[in-house]
């Protein structure tokens, strides 16, 4: 069972690698940031799998932090973009 | 044994959803469909993996934490999707003179 | 047959190097920041592989989250976002390449000298652990064996936050409102997440006594929660009276200073914890550190953007 | 190749990459990213050294690396605050334009950002998408 879980985590790692193509290609800023978010969700899943496979409960805490911080980064990104637009419109 | 099989099935399905989500962001033509592919497929994928792992869990506390992780990830994922789509939509409606 | 572990390690290592290369050499600064955030996420996986869950917890919050937030925020303001950034002259580039390659080769040479197996201090820590106030190795190193390091770390944090706040106090330019223009969806998310963050950072603080977790991880997470609140327009830290903020920011340093002063007066060594009550002292210190780390994190991120006047309306 | 060697080598590579960029790049933000990469490399090297035992890793480097992560965050924040302060001062002092083309735009902070963007024809914020 644990081998299966580790292999699953490896596949998820591979999808992160593939997603990098979209980050570098863009073309929109949303694409890039969203991929960072995607890595968050995928990372959460991989961590949960590893926590079970290696029997390391603290990794579930790491996964929870990933999920919370992904929300923060994305929010700051959107704010950054929104303010940028405001300053352009206001000027 | 049945539980093991179910859990195997759920985790496999979850991983497949992640793979299809990544295929979506690589292949889909515009940012909205990519957003859609990414957040929906990954949300479901994570849900299935959490389900599969919960079937393996030995204590209620572990199940609780798995559920919490899933709820937080689903909340932040869907909010992120909404904010991004909103942001892109507004941008698309702007006059294009500066582009 | 190559072991699964090796495949995993090498995948993580390759991803790290690729992400570092991309974030360093992508011409577009914004893309570079996106890559840097992904780099932080993969760093957390590397810590997991190195069996350092404490570091994975901290990295997930700091490397993958807060540093990215800081960079995004600064990139918004500083004009050198793209184009205007000069590419280095070829002479400079060549020299830097040579220097970096030389350092790299020297480090690899040194690495080959390192014995592949070593005792380190793991045994010593395990033996001494029953003598300390807590049951988790990393926490006991931080707050017992090497409490002096942690003392100075809190001082460094205080110094950094003073730098940020002083710089902010001398700005006379228009400060851009920091929070997102009211979005019901975002406020909803924050409303749901804030209690989770609060409870979870309390849990991490408590867990630190016997498992991975502790004051720094809890503080950083609590700070992230505070930033989320500020973003949603719920002003907690930025509404604190200045005097209270100052005290709370220095709570960690003050705790350590008070403790070491008391211990010295009592005729003990510097930060040599008494046997009885050591656990209470360590937990009190942890709480003090967590509070000041959390406020430091919020001030570092929001402080550069704090409004000097009462909130002005968005145009 | 065990875990120790893999990550120690990765640490060396990250450190060298970051160092090269720190030495070569003129931009402040890039430099701070590079310093962060260097720092990650250092900590990776250091913590992988702790992973050389049969029975569990050494907690002392873990504690020191934890300190390192938090201090790096603080240093990055202070560096960024200084960079932003410098940027504002330059923007104020020059009333808009500064030699070297580093700072453009006057007191309104959005302006410099915006102008920098339209000058370089890169695809930032997805111009190329349309």
For A38, C285, D7, the CA distances from C53, given in Å and listed in that order, are 22, 22, 16
Residue B70, domain extent: 2-93
**The domain spanning residue D82 has which CATH number?**
1.10.287.3510
Distance CA A72, CA C221 (A): 11
First to last CA, chain C: 64
Distance CA C87, CA D25 (A): 7
pLDDT of residue A11: 92
First to last CA, chain A: 60
Domain positions in chain A are 2-90
Beta bridge partners of D104: D97
**DSSP reduced 3-state for D97:** strand
Q: Are A8 and B11 in contact (CB under 8 A)?
A: yes
Helix (H) and strand (E) counts for chain A?
3, 0
Distance CA C282, CA C272 (A): 12
Q: Which of A21, A33, A60 lies closest to B65 in CB terms?
A: A60
pLDDT of residue C63: 83
Looking at per-residue confidence, does C84 or C205 come out higher?
C205
CB contact under 8 A, A87 and D125: no
% of chain B surpassing 70 pLDDT: 94
For C66, C87, D33, D106, D107, the CA distances from D87, given in Å and listed in that order, are 22, 19, 18, 11, 10
% of chain C surpassing 90 pLDDT: 9
Distance CA C160, CA D4 (A): 33
D127 is a domain residue: no
Task: Please give the backbone phi and psi of residue D104, each rounded to the nearest 5 degrees, phi first.
Answer: -135, 155
C231 at interface of A, judged by CB pairs closer than 8 A: yes
Contacting subunits of B (3+ beta carbon pairs below 8 A): A, C, D
Least confident of B78-82, C307-311, D20-24, D89-93: C307-311
The pLDDT tens digits of the residues spanning D57-84 come to: 788 888 888 889 989 999 999 998 888 8
Distance CA C73, CA D105 (A): 18
% of chain A surpassing 90 pLDDT: 12
Six token digits for residue D20: 């090269």
B53 is a domain residue: yes
For A58, C142, C240, C264, C275, the CA distances from C132, given in Å and listed in that order, are 22, 11, 37, 19, 8
What distance in Å separates residue D16's CA from the closest CA in chain A?
22
The pLDDT tens digits of the residues spanning B30-66 come to: 878 888 888 888 888 999 999 999 888 888 888 998 9
pLDDT of residue D15: 93
Q: Is D125 left (phi over 0), alpha (psi -120 to 50) or beta?
A: left
Least confident of C187-201, D21-35, D90-104: D90-104
Neighboring chain C residues of B75 at a CB cutoff of 8 Å: 189, 192-193
Distance CA A64, CA A45 (A): 10
The pLDDT tens digits of the residues spanning C197-252 come to: 988 998 988 888 777 878 888 999 999 888 888 877 777 777 777 788 888 888 88
Residue C142 carries which DSSP code?
I
Helix (H) and strand (E) counts for chain C?
13, 0
Residues in C 74-103 with any Cβ partner in D closer than 8 A: 74-86, 88, 92-93, 95-97, 99-101, 103
Residue D30, domain extent: 3-122
CB contact under 8 A, C45 and A43: yes
Neighboring chain B residues of A28 at a CB cutoff of 8 Å: 31, 88
Number of domains in chain B: 1
pLDDT of residue D29: 85
B99 is a domain residue: no
Beta bridge partners of D97: D104
D129 is a domain residue: no
CB contact under 8 A, C50 and D65: no
Distance CA C134, CA C128 (A): 11
Neighboring chain C residues of B76 at a CB cutoff of 8 Å: 189, 193
% of chain C surpassing 70 pLDDT: 87
The pLDDT tens digits of the residues spanning C137-153 come to: 777 777 777 778 888 88
Q: Which of C6, C30, C51 lies closest to D1 in CB terms?
A: C6
D128 is a domain residue: no
Distance CA B12, CA A74 (A): 28
């Amino acid at each position: 069972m644990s081998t299966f879980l580790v292999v699953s985590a490896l596949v998820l790692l591979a999808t992160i690698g593939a997603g990098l193509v979209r980050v570098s290609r863009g073309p929109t800023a949303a694409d890039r940031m969203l991929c960072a978010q995607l890595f968050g969700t995928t990372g959460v899943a991989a961590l949960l799998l590893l926590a079970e496979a290696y029997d390391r409960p603290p990794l579930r805490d790491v996964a929870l932090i990933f999920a919370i911080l992904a929300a923060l980064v994305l929010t700051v990104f959107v704010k950054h973009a929104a303010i940028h637009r405001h300053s352009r419109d206001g000027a | 044994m049945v539980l093991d099989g179910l859990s195997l099935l759920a985790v496999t399905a979850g991983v497949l959803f992640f793979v299809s989500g990544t295929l979506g962001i690589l292949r889909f033509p515009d940012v909205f469909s990519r957003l859609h592919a990414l957040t929906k497929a990954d949300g479901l994928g994570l849900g299935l993996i959490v389900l599969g792992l919960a079937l393996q869990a030995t204590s209620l506390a572990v199940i609780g934490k798995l559920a919490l992780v899933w709820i937080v990830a689903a909340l932040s994922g869907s909010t992120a999707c909404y904010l991004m789509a909103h942001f892109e939509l507004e941008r698309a409606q702007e006059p294009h003179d500066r582009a | 047959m190559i072991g699964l572990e090796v495949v995993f390690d090498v995948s993580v290592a390759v991803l790290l190097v690729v992400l570092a290369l991309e974030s360093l050499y992508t011409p577009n600064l914004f893309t570079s920041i996106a890559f840097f955030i992904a780099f932080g996420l993969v760093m957390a996986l590397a810590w997991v592989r190195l069996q350092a869950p404490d570091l994975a917890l901290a990295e997930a919050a700091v490397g993958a989250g807060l540093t990215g937030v800081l960079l995004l925020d600064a990139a918004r303001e500083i004009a050198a976002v793209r184009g205007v950034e000069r590419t280095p002259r070829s002479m400079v580039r060549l020299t830097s390449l040579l220097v970096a390659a030389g350092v790299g080769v020297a480090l690899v040479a040194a690495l080959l000298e390192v014995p592949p197996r070593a005792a380190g201090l793991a045994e010593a820590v395990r033996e001494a652990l029953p003598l300390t106030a807590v049951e988790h190795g990393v926490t006991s190193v931080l707050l017992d064996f090497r409490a002096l390091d942690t003392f100075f770390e809190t001082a460094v944090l205080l110094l950094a936050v003073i730098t940020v706040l002083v710089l902010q106090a001398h700005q006379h330019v228009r400060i851009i409102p920091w929070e997102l223009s009211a979005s019901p969806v975002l406020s909803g998310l924050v409303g749901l997440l804030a209690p989770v963050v609060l409870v979870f950072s309390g849990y991490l603080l408590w867990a630190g006594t016997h498992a991975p977790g502790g004051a720094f991880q809890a503080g950083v997470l609590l700070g992230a929660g505070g930033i989320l609140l500020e973003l949603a327009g719920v002003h907690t830290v930025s509404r604190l009276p200045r005097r209270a903020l100052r005290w709370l920011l220095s709570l960690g340093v003050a705790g350590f200073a008070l403790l070491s002063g008391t211990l010295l007066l009592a005729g003990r060594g510097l930060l040599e914890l008494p046997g009885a009550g050591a656990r209470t002292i360590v937990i009190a210190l942890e709480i003090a550190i967590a509070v000041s780390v959390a406020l430091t994190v919020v001030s570092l991120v929001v402080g550069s953007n704090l409004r000097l006047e009462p909130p002005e309306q968005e145009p | 190749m065990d875990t120790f060697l893999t990550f120690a080598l990765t640490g060396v590579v990250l450190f060298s990459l970051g160092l090269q960029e720190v030495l070569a790049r003129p931009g402040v933000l890039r430099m701070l990213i590079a310093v962060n990469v260097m720092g990650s490399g250092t900590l990776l090297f250091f913590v992988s050294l702790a992973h050389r035992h049969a029975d569990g890793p050494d907690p002392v480097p873990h504690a020191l690396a934890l300190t390192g992560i938090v201090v790096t965050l603080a240093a990055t924040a202070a560096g960024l605050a200084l960079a932003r302060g410098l940027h504002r001062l330059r923007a104020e002092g020059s009333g808009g334009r500064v030699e070297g083309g580093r700072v453009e735009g006057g007191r309104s902070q959005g302006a410099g950002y915006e102008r920098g963007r339209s000058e370089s024809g890169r695809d930032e914020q997805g111009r190329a998408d349309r």
